[in-house]
Structure 1
């Protein structure tokens, strides 16, 4: 059975969905079969980031309602081995935690990894996204409000029974970090969250351009962020890969 991981942040706008897509691309690039599950009802974006938005007919809500077969709601991305179960179009179609857990567990035997993109905040959508997961990743920027939300996200994941939770610092720019001068260094940021660091994704215009145009992030494989996704994916699968320091 594949691992099931929820990606959350608490605060919107930190690059959580971009990280979810990037991790999916990197894991698929390692030869894994990966299912991304978009739980952001009403604000879904992973289909666009994967370049398959125009293909969608069914989504997570249709599957729960019995309007389609499981295979009909899963779409293959342009990258071999990477698949998407899209979020409902309407916010009222958020799937309950009670239904979400057995639904996602039913997919687990067919994939090496299932990665769930959690909506912002800590409401019903958050609880539903966490319900099937055995692992968690909290995506954060280095501003104080985001760090405070990351603390809460880590606590709520533990309360949901997810004991293995790691931190990813996203869209990191050392120049901006030093200019804002909110923390002494990155070690203080990590300590404030109370989470173990999994990786750092640098701010990278090539990734932004790929997302805006619905192109695979791996098309910019030599870009710093794409390389960082690869290192995070390796650590995610238990490899001992050193952290790099970015100067951008």
Structure 2
């Protein structure tokens, strides 16, 4: 029976699509059959990270409308990992939610893990995308807006009596203004399901559509492996070991020698775009 895991966030641009793609690949490398489903209707991006842009003929919305069989909407990424694309034309307002959920549930039965890349926020689209989830992972980056929005959506989940959620801290630095401990305190959580470092290597792989070729030695992949362990065994992650993988901000300047401070900041913003 598949475990359905929704990757969600309070705001966009915090790395949920990257985490969905990379975690899917790591689980596939461990011998699991994995389905990665893009549920961000009208704004899909998961296909880009898998290098499947231009390869999509059918999507989940078409399967929900009966325009194709559910299996026809699937695309193989690598052996053991398949992709279910979201619609680029139809937003959630134009999706028959029970039909979509039937498609997702019927397909997920053939996999060990189904990872759902959800739309950000807490509106009807979020509710539709997470309705079948056994676990919700809220992705948070070290910014005041991300922390505030994540806190709100976690409070919303609790009010809905959906307590099967955890937090992944993403894109953190060792010397950041917002530390992992500060983020946990703001979110009022004593533990996390992941602590992921800023990593230029994984950003490049994502931007070039090469997530399936990412090196296990990347700090991001080493840290995300702890999350995969947690999913497999339920054992709490060792945050001390993961903290050692966090880089310092100074390392970012070394990657961009000879650039002005203004230009360097712009390049950093461009790279962080890939963490959407």
- Which TM-score applies when normalising by structure 2? 0.81
Match of 1:191 in 2: 185
Offset at 1:150? Answer: 1.0
Q: Is the 8 A contact 1:95 1:125 kept in 2?
A: no
SS of corresponding position for 1:55: coil
SS of corresponding position for 1:13: coil
Match of 1:220 in 2: 215
Comparing 89-98 with 148-157, which one deviates more in the overlay? Answer: 89-98
SS of corresponding position for 1:28: helix
Where has structure 1 moved over 6 Å in runs of 4 or more?
A: none
Work out whether 1:87 is the aligned partner of 2:77.
Answer: no
Distance 1:238-1:218 versus aligned 2 partners, 3 A rule: farther
Match of 2:195 in 1: 200
Query: Matches of residues 28-43 of structure 1 in structure 2 within 5 Å?
Result: 28-43=28-43
Query: Matches of residues 11-160 of structure 1 in structure 2 within 5 Å?
Result: 11-77=11-77, 79-92=78-91, 95-160=95-160
Work out whether 1:209 is the aligned partner of 2:208.
Answer: no
Task: For structure 1, list consecutive stretches of 5 or more residues without a partner in the other structure.
Answer: none
C-alpha separation in 1, matches of 2:246 and 2:103: 43
C-alpha separation in 2, matches of 1:117 and 1:157: 17
Offset at 1:33? Answer: 0.6
Q: CA RMSD in A?
A: 1.8
Match among 238, 241, 247 for residue 242 of structure 1: 238
Q: How big is each residue's C-alpha offset from its partner over 1:83-105, in whole Å with a ceiling of 9 and x where there is no partner?
A: 11001012435534433333322
Q: Is the 8 A contact 1:7 1:116 kept in 2?
A: yes
Distance 1:160-1:134 versus aligned 2 partners, 3 A rule: farther
- Which TM-score applies when normalising by structure 1? 0.90
Offset at 1:127? Answer: 1.4
Match of 2:253 in 1: none
C-alpha separation in 1, matches of 2:31 and 2:17: 21
C-alpha separation in 2, matches of 1:61 and 1:74: 12
Task: For structure 2, list consecutive stretches of 5 or more residues without a partner in the other structure.
Answer: 248-276
Query: Matches of residues 144-183 of structure 1 in structure 2 within 5 Å?
Result: 144-175=144-175, 177=176, 181=177, 183=178
Q: How big is each residue's C-alpha offset from its partner over 1:189-208, in whole Å with a ceiling of 9 and x where there is no partner?
A: 11221343011111111111
Distance 1:84-1:31 versus aligned 2 partners, 3 A rule: same
Q: Is the 8 A contact 2:3 2:134 kept in 1?
A: yes
